[in-house]
Amino acid sequence: MLPEDIGETAQDIIRVQDEYYIKASSTIADQKTHVLKQNEIFCIADRFGDFHPVGLGEQGLYYNNTRFLQRLEIKFFSKRFLLLGSEIKNDNILLNVDMTNPDLVEDNKLILERDFLHLVRSIILYRNCCYQRFRFHNYDIKPITCDFSLYFGSDFADVFEIRGVKREKRGHQLSPEIQSSSCTLGYQGLDKIERRTQLTFSPEPKYLSSYKADFSFTLAPNDIHEIDLTISCEEGFTKDSPHFLGVSFSHAYSQSLATFDENRKSSCELYSSSKHFNEWIDDSAIDMYMMLTETEWEQSAYPYAGIPWFSAPFGRDGVITALETLWYNPSIAKNVLRFLAKTQAMEKDDFADAEPGKIIHEMRKGEMASLKEVPFGR
């Protein structure tokens, strides 16, 4: 559920039962989204890098077929930044968003003209975490005081719930745990698994609640200030589980690049006399690398089917991908064959449409699959 005090942008969203209506005057009706994925974690964000319950309702941060963060929205003096541009780098690892400040008016007086504060928002995914860095740069000839807020919330919805499956019962939200620099949101599922979303801020916020973090700082002319946010997604959490120890933004980025380079080394390179053809082949290869996901079966990288609804192993899709890339990277076919052999049906199961020797249609993690509310556990 979203809290009542959810910021200016959300006031443009009207909820009617389970549907959302966006006012015609709202600037967030833009449906263009960006997608990042790394192994079992992926996110769908708008062009600002925010998550909103709008459009098809699919935006958010997902891990193991569960949405661990439904909402993440940034504000400058309770107003939305002005978008300059956003793009995912051509390695599919880093999302960069360039923004600037809007006009700030107080008592009919302009106190800060737009375009003097530059904000670069950088987002990467690594292991079970989403790392975000906010880099503020003052281009004014006088100091700028910044009131910067992040609004957040989680529904821990199963991916099939988001796709429209209605459930008779759900688990329950746990009481938020708030410390000086972190907030942990929890959910106890009907499958007896505790899932937790931990947001850790550096530096420590001026104010932190169960749905908002406030920062206040002053930038001298040409000064730069950075705020880092680490969002960790944890499953099977118990009282004896160790506290999350994340890595730095730079370390996560360098390790992601190293993995990307390793994947490229195992593939052949194809060039032609056509620049456009070369770009098409290169973009296709990069997209394929993003879909390769390390599985629990011998840690082999299996090509998942697609984001958001099909970020999971599919038997037919895996076989077709293996055949089509056999000349390009034969290790993909090897991993597909190993995975499908390991997951091959051993007995008859009418609910899962399984018979001895049959290959999986799809495999899902998540609460609904483990409870057999959907027949896709295997």
Q: Which amino acid appears at position 45 of this protein?
A: A
pLDDT < 70 positions in the chain: 1-31, 55-56, 237-246, 297-299
Question: What is the structure's pLDDT at 242?
Answer: 53
Question: What is the structure's pLDDT at 239?
Answer: 56
CATH 1.10.10.10 matches 7-251: no
Q: What is the value of pTM for the model shown?
A: 0.88
Over residues 25-60, the pLDDT tens digits come to 344 445 689 999 999 999 999 999 999 877 668 999
Q: What residue spans define the domains of the chain?
A: 7-251, 267-370
Displacement of CA 182 from its chain's centroid (Å): 19
Question: What is the structure's pLDDT at 8?
Answer: 44
Q: Which amino acid appears at position 36 of this protein?
A: L
Identify whether 308 is preceded by a cis peptide bond (ω within 30 of 0). yes
Radius of gyration of the chain (CA): 22
CB 50 within 8 A of CB 72: yes
Give every CB contact of residue 121 below 8 A, 6+ residues apart in sequence.
48, 49, 74, 96, 97, 99, 132, 133, 134, 135
Question: What is the structure's pLDDT at 230?
Answer: 97
Displacement of CA 378 from its chain's centroid (Å): 25
Question: What is the structure's pLDDT at 378?
Answer: 86
Residue 344 dihedral angles phi and psi, to the nearest 5°: -65, 140
Q: What is the per-residue DSSP string for 336-369?
A: HHHHHHHT---S-BTTTTB-TTPPPSB---SHHH
Query: What angle separates helix 315-324 from helix 330-342, to the nearest 10 degrees?
Result: 160
